Structure 1
């Protein structure tokens, strides 16, 4: 008989466990009894009070409970998330402090979450207005493409535009039939490489990508929709490019065996001939004068054909003057973060849970592992104390890097790093189980570990968490190269910033996307493979801007590359999602200067309707080259013309930004007056009047004349002059502000950054 009762109880238990759901529970903190030191403890105790081995149901039967604390919240809400059976939920509703609860529902995030972060919406704004970039052709010069990726599916796409002159070039492991209505072209260029190294064997002599970089960048710019994308469980959702209906043409000029300028030039040359509308270049060369820069030369030809060129600023930040691609006729893109964080959940032996940052792609197999508090882990770790344990390391005196490397070379089971460092992007991509906690959360862990005396303290870490809505965002990434431009310091660079940190996009599933440590530091790591990967760099921000440019091009096919660039720059955001100035991670989270973020963070929806544009023609660039005192031959190498008109040399390019130098070079006067003339074109409808608004620029005196610009009809042009006056030797190295032209109807804000510096960046 007893056996039958036990079976009955077991069956009921199974039913209750099956019916368990995850609930988000809101609690009233004012109801927390004083005996609890924190709301974490209160929440845990509340759950423990309703969780016993068995409970009595309403019909007096017995059932096993299933409550399990998932999260405790500190900022987002006052409450927690837990797995509860129906009977537990009913008991919880009667507990002191209970306010409300709701079932945790599934949300499919945009995995390339940058699209959502940038405000792109299928129902309004840039996407529907531009038809999602339909029929704009984006050419990507990179490491090739993995055509089987879902990001290059052509579901629902129309016939390839008749103007397309490109081809799908067959090669090793690449059949021409792999192209379609999305991936309309694929070519490869390695003749220069083979010429330099005649005995070289190209392992993948085709447009197929064996590196992953090209697949990632091209899908970021214009990838199709892909459901259920993720990086080893992180960021699960729908992946898409910035212009999901645009066409992609890939030009492989970078191989595993090397990359030469000649091949890159050939790729750009072919892209121009094929008829692309946008060229995306996540590459560049440092410290080269404009007339010696092959990318500058090749892209001048592109813009003369009306092709928009987007380039990466480089990853040599946070040092000033470190960017490349400072070419005046291309868009130079810095990198910044988005509002998505990747997390792990640490559960202590007492049931308390804290969340931290992690991108570890594996799992910690141990259900509960012993944990030991070491303090600063920069010194030798005693194997007797730490082997096969999780170590808790306290970052002190900015030694996180040293501690991280020291732990990696040990035989620990995992590590918890407690740090106030906000630049953790590359640390969290650890090859061994690692979680990064703030000092506040870390103190909870330290207190727990140090209070356990009679038995080993134990913890469990669950990885693969994703959290959106992180604040503040965006922030300029520390690695992003800073202006001004070495080649043309009189033109403020970079132009703007775009999402570049931990961007998820397509990846070759035969190329390892991550690796994890399997033993000691001398043992080989286990390679992991994925169809999507998370990468960081201005290589990632560049294709974001390329995709946005494709949207603007689709909406305004008659606009010049300069007009498109102007629209993107003057409508960019200078405030983050807390409505404060965008911060610079590389400068202790101080407000980012235009040397770091350019005009601001790209804002696609506003870029389609900027109100005013700063347009340029080829001759304007020639005038600049003449003003830079380039020789006739040097100019010709750029323009490919021997009849360049240098009758009107000028360093004052009609650019949507301003940079003034006050470095004491002029010994004849203690004061310096610098004037800039600009001409704007009205691209709105009907008549409109714009009024100038200036923010302070340090102690400098800045004025605009005239202060109002009135337009009667579309495409009308008006000119103004901005005057900057100050001491010949500025007190501050860098000061900046903004000039905004605001129309009388409040519809347009056309903003330009103003930078003044006492540092000399010229040759």
Structure 2
């Protein structure tokens, strides 16, 4: 009888599985063993692998003898656990990924019922569904002054040129276009021959011949080289780690793509275009790609972070959403990465159909993450259309102003698309291609804006023989009456409603209308740079008192590599002009790679603080008039002309970051950050900050303050102090000359007076620390206060 009952139970289990119609999702199954970053020794006499010094500048060594031995032990344990899971599920259990760095566990596809079954096993610590995240350059690097590090101008002491040599950047995104010249083993323009830090021919992940650490892919491996030294695919979408959407290639080439100068093929416009030379911010750094995203979402992020730590990258770029609960979500894994000596840049996030208001919705609130807003660079798309002749009336303006990134054209006949037929009831919209031969004299054709992509309208009139294109706005609402500097298939210009109406009214009478689209000199125009992007998510951070975003960088119409989903003529390489905080974050990641190469002895927090305290806070909001504030852009726009020369930096430890968790009674206001915030300041509140000297010269420092309202003020104690040459501090002891670190400087910042009580934000101030000798750039700590937040902000701590 007992044998029959047991058989019946087994059969019932198999039948249940066979009939299950439950959907499967990615789950992280954690085991009880410590990961490499937390293992302190004591198991099977295996040595500890956890970082010995929290906050150290040294990277975690995943390939050390100790780490390799403990990894082998974890691999054996994993095999045992998977056998046990197979028995419980009555099917062969397969892992998508084996976690070894931040914790020990596996990623698996499970139904909700199966996940609940596994939670009952003693050897399993937890089973949680993996969160689903969403995806949120030619002028850009120079706009943040990367070229001053490239040529050595901004490199302290040595003045040696630096383009990120020796740095490894990890791009956690949609994969990479492995055949693009941005990622070639030899730079196509400067001829730089990349060096593989793993050794020539040694690759990690799902490269042809790569070390996949026992994780063979269910897809074709891709070719790697001494530039692209690794590529991992965690999404079984049929293409990984080859980029299926272009987003990952774009971010990777912005961080560290080779210098290249075309020909360029804009797949959106469908044409080869002329453009300045393009380069990543750290063009000589090595790249590893981690494909964690499918076509519409990203469901294997934790695997990418864990693997990047094991691969020993120096910098991670994460242009993906998340981080709103940083002590408990993806940002918590990024804290482990920081503890392993990895700088993390992440996008602040963008508005979208489900979230049209950017205020108080910033992503990646982890104090250890460099959260990046988006602003404009200095590419000037200003164009004019003028030299008007013909018609029965005259245009009183000599020129009408517009935007474009294509060249000039004319003089040529100018006509209105609404006077021709393309089989559509609204031909003026240029929604369909016009028949070939519609225009035979090289006409400039005016189309109305709306319904389809702007560049497609130009393509549709080009099909009919047009040689020039005017896109005219039709909606006078300020939100719709905006201009875009697009790259059109033919010379074009985008004009506002009033200019479009002037053109169309003039064309409607008489004949022989002629006009010229005028080119400009191209290049940079500082007047159009540092304007906050309207889509960029921003503060105030209503969850706890840490300013977010941290910083801003170029993220509007950024030119960089995309995927090879179209054929290209004449050997042209694919580029895309994309906008988003996804584009600004890699500018900052590339800047961090340069900073780490210049200062290999600085900790991640020190690098982050130097970049923040030297940022440029002179930008404007999207109206191009109102000054930005800390809740918009953090401390300002990345400035590599100054960051490498910061005379003081700030450090913070892994333990303090953990202890600051407000969910466990911690207070993030106490963290040693280059910003200060108190949402319940009352009539007075204070912060303490510790400055670590880095200047190779004796210096005297003076502190000044400013606020946005004379009713309150900032004071700093002490308001002046001295520092000594960090390269000359030593003692001559019995063991010979011994280096002694220069003393840190502690300051207390106090806000007092009639602190404004605001219902829609904060009041802002700055603390500026100036080197009287001028050897260091000014260092700025931003301050944000409110008397109290009546709309449900951060509660006061007891």
For the criterion TM > 0.5, the same-fold answer is yes
The counterpart of 2:227, out of the listed 182, 187, 190, is 182
Which one of 270, 274, 277 corresponds to residue 307 of structure 2? 270
Counterpart-to-counterpart distance in 1, 2:577 and 2:458: 25
Q: Does 1:507 align with 2:562?
A: yes
**Given the alignment of the two structures, is residue 321 of structure 1 paired with residue 360 of structure 2, yes or no?**
yes
Q: Which of 673, 676, 690 is the equivalent residue of 1:679? A: 690
Aligned residues of 1:168 and 1:179 also touching (Cα < 8 A): no
Cα deviation for residue 682 of structure 1 reads 0.6
In the other structure, the counterpart of 2:747 is 720
Is residue 2:603 matched to residue 1:560?
A: yes
The superposition leaves residues 122-143 of structure 1 with CA deviations (integer Å, 9 ceiling, x where unpaired) of: 4333576462110110000011
Deviates more, 1:229-238 or 1:559-568: 229-238
**Is 1:762 aligned to residue 794 of structure 2?**
yes
**Quick one: structure 1 residues 335 and 458, their matched pair in 2 at CA, closer, same or farther if it must change by over 3 Å?**
same
Give 1 or 2: higher strand fraction: 1
Give yes or no for the alignment of 1:484 onto 2:540. Answer: yes
1:655-692 superposed Cα distances (whole Å, 9 cap, x missing partner): 001122248xxxxxxx5211001000010013212110
Which residue does 1:78 correspond to in 2? none
Asked if the contact 2:203–2:230 (Cα under 8 Å) also holds between the matched residues in 1, the reply is no
Would you say 1:738 and 2:783 are equivalent positions? Answer: no
RMSD across aligned C-alpha pairs, in angstroms? Answer: 4.0
Give the equivalent residue in structure 1 for 2:738.
none
Q: Judge which range, 588-597 or 498-507, deviates more.
A: 588-597
Pairing partner for 1:455 from 511, 519, 537: 511
Q: Does 1:284 align with 2:310?
A: no
Mapped pair 1:654 → 2:672: yes
- Equivalent position to 2:642, from 596, 602, 606: 606
TM alignment of 1:152-551, pairs within 5 A: 152-155=183-186, 156-162=192-198, 166-170=204-208, 174-176=220-222, 178-190=223-235, 202-204=237-239, 206-230=240-264, 231=266, 232=271, 236-256=275-295, 258-260=297-299, 263-285=300-322, 288-293=324-329, 295-316=330-351, 319-342=358-381, 346-347=385-386, 349-350=388-389, 354=400, 356-358=402-404, 368-371=413-416, 390-391=445-446, 415-417=470-472, 424=482, 428=486, 435-437=493-495, 442=499, 446=502, 449-450=505-506, 453-455=509-511, 457-459=513-515, 466-469=522-525, 471-487=527-543, 489-511=544-566, 531-551=574-594
Deviation at 1:620, TM superposition (A): 1.7
- 1:505-534 per-residue CA deviation (whole Å, 9 max, x = no partner) reads 112232599xxxxxxxxxxxxxx9961111
User: Distance in 1 between the 2:282 and 2:321 partners?
Assistant: 24
> Is the 1:568–1:602 contact (alpha carbons within 8 Å) kept by the matching residues of 2?
yes
Secondary structure at the counterpart of residue 239 of structure 1: coil
1:657-668 alignment to 2 at 5 Å? 657-662=675-680
Within the candidate set 125, 130, 135, 2:153 is matched to 125
- The secondary structure found in structure 1 opposite 2:327 is helix
Q: Measure, in 2, the Cα distance between the counterparts of 1:267 and 1:734.
A: 36
Q: Is the 8 A contact 1:502 1:536 kept in 2?
A: yes
Separation of aligned partners in 2, 1:629 and 1:448: 61
Task: Output the CA distance in 1 between the equivalents of 2:781 and 2:583.
Answer: 25
1:144 aligns with 2:155: no
Deviation at 1:117, TM superposition (A): 1.9
Question: Closer, same or farther in 2 for the Cα pair 1:447/1:269, shift >3 Å?
Answer: closer
- Specify the SS of the correspondent of 1:340: coil
8 A contact 2:195–2:227 mirrored in 1: no
Q: How does 1:56-67 map to 2 (within 5 A)?
A: none
* TM-score, length-scaled by structure 2: 0.64
* Superposed CA offset, 1:340-386 (max 9, x none): 1335553555296655213589x999952323899xxxxx9697999
Cα distance in structure 1, aligned partners of 2:521 and 2:497: 20
**2:195 & 2:430 partners in 1: Cα distance?**
66
Alpha-carbon deviation of 1:619? 1.8
- Does the residue aligned with 1:242 lie in a helix, a strand or coil? coil
Aligned residue-pair number: 576
Task: Name which of structure 1's ranges 446-455 and 118-127 shifts more when overlaid on structure 2.
Answer: 446-455
Does the Cα contact within 8 Å between 2:387 and 2:411 map onto a contact in 1?
no
Larger mean Cα displacement after TM superposition, 302-311 or 697-706 = 697-706
Secondary structure at the counterpart of residue 548 of structure 1 = helix
Could you say if the C-alpha distance between residues 124 and 323 of structure 1 is closer, same or farther in structure 2, counting changes exceeding 3 Å? same
* Aligned-partner Cα distance in 1 for 2:164–2:633: 25
Q: SS of the residue aligned with 1:209?
A: coil
- Does the 8 Å CA contact 2:702/2:771 hold for their aligned counterparts? yes
Q: TM-score, normalised by structure 1?
A: 0.67
Residues in 2 aligned to 1:253 and 1:247: alpha-carbon distance in whole angstroms: 19
Q: Which 4+ runs in 1 deviate beyond 6 A?
A: 363-366, 380-389, 400-405, 407-413, 429-434, 462-465
- Deviation per CA, 1:404-441, whole angstroms, max 9, x where unpaired? 99x9799988654367969846685789997323689x
Deviates more, 1:530-539 or 1:548-557: 530-539
What's the CA shift string for 1:684-705, capped at 9, x where partnerless?
A: 0132121101112312121111
The Cα offsets for residues 618-639 of structure 1, whole Å up to 9 and x where unpaired, read as 12212311xx1427xxxxxxxx
- Per-residue CA deviations over 1:278-314 (Å, capped at 9, x if unaligned) read 111001227x422332x11211110111111111100
Judged with a 3 Å threshold, the aligned counterparts in structure 2 of structure 1 residues 168 and 650 are, in CA distance, closer, same or farther, namely: closer
Are 1:134 and 2:169 counterparts? Answer: no
